[in-house]
Chains A and B, each alone.
Chain A
Amino acid sequence: MKIAVCVKHVPEGSARIDPGSKRLDRSGEGALNRFDANAVEEALRLKGESDTEVVVVSMGPEQATDSLRKALAMGADRAVLVSDDAAGGSDLVATSRVLAAALEREGAELVLFGQQASDGDGAVLWAAVAERLRRPVVSQAAALTVEGGSLRVKRQTEFGYDVIEAQLPAVVAVSDAINEPRYPSLKGIMGAKKKPQEILSLGDVGVDASEAGETGSRTTVLALADPPQRGGSQKIEDDGNAAQAIVDFLAEKRLL
Chain B
Amino acid sequence: MKTLVFLEHHGGELQKGALGVLAKAASLGEVAAVLVGGGVTGLAAEAGSYGATTVHVADDASLEPPLPQPRVDVLATVVRDGGYDTVLFANSVLAADVAAGLAARLEAGLNWDLADLVHQDGDLVGKRPALGDSVYVDVGWRSEPRIALFRAGSFDATPTGGGAPQVETVAVELEPYSQLARIVSQEHEESSGPSIEDADVIVAGGRGLGAPESFALAEELARALGGAVGATRAVVDAGWYPYAAQIGQTGKTVSPKLYVALGISGAIQHKVGMQSSNVIVAINKDPNAPIFEFSDLGVVGDVHEIVPKLTELVQQRKGA
Q: Which residues of A contact B (CB under 8 A)?
A: 15-17, 22, 91-93, 96, 120, 122-132, 134-140, 152, 155-167, 170, 217-228, 230-238, 242-247, 249-251, 253-256
Contacts and interface: CB of A to CB of B under 8 A. Distances in A.
Contacts of A159: 10-11, 188
B299 A236 contact: yes
Interface stretch (B28-36, B43-51, B89-97, B165-173): B89-97
B238 interface: no
Interface stretch (B54-62, B79-87, B212-220, B300-308): B300-308
A240 to B, nearest CB: 8
A127 B96 contact: yes
B14 interface: no
Contacts of A231: 296
Interface of B: 10-11, 66-69, 72, 92-94, 96-101, 103-105, 107-113, 125, 129-143, 149, 156, 175, 177-178, 180-189, 198, 201, 225, 257-258, 279-281, 283, 287, 292, 294-302, 305-307, 309-310, 312-314, 317-318
Contacts of B305: 238
B104 A219 contact: no
B294 to A, nearest CB: 7
A89 to B, nearest CB: 12
A129 B177 CA distance: 13
Contacts of A156: 93
A138 B101 CA distance: 12
16 contacts: A123-B112, A128-B100, A131-B72, A131-B104, A163-B186, A164-B183, A166-B181, A218-B108, A219-B140, A221-B137, A227-B134, A234-B298, A235-B292, A235-B300, A238-B305, A247-B313
Interface of B is mostly: mixed
B310 A247 contact: yes
A162 B66 contact: yes
Contacts of B109: 91-93, 217-220
Nearest to A22: B137
Contact of A242 (B105, B201, B306, B314): B306
Closest 9 CB pairs of A and B: A238-B301, A218-B109, A243-B309, A127-B100, A160-B188, A124-B100, A219-B109, A166-B181, A131-B104
A198 to B, nearest CB: 25
B183 A162 contact: yes
A157 B156 contact: no
A123 B100 CA distance: 9
Contacts of B111: 219
A243 B308 CA distance: 9
Contacts of B257: 255
B5 to A, nearest CB: 18
A115 to B, nearest CB: 10
A124 B112 contact: yes
B299 A238 contact: yes
A131 to B, nearest CB: 4
Contacts of B138: 221-225
A48 to B, nearest CB: 24
A249 B108 contact: no
A167 B176 CA distance: 12
A155 B11 CA distance: 18
Of B132, B137, B258, most buried by chain A (CB within 10 Å of CB) is B137
Nearest to A245: B299
Given A92-B100, A164-B181, A237-B301, A220 B105 contact: no
B134 to A, nearest CB: 7
Contacts of A246: 281, 283, 297, 299, 306, 310
A238 B298 CA distance: 10
Given A230-B296, A238-B305, A157 B66 contact: yes
Contacts of A136: 69, 177-178, 180-181
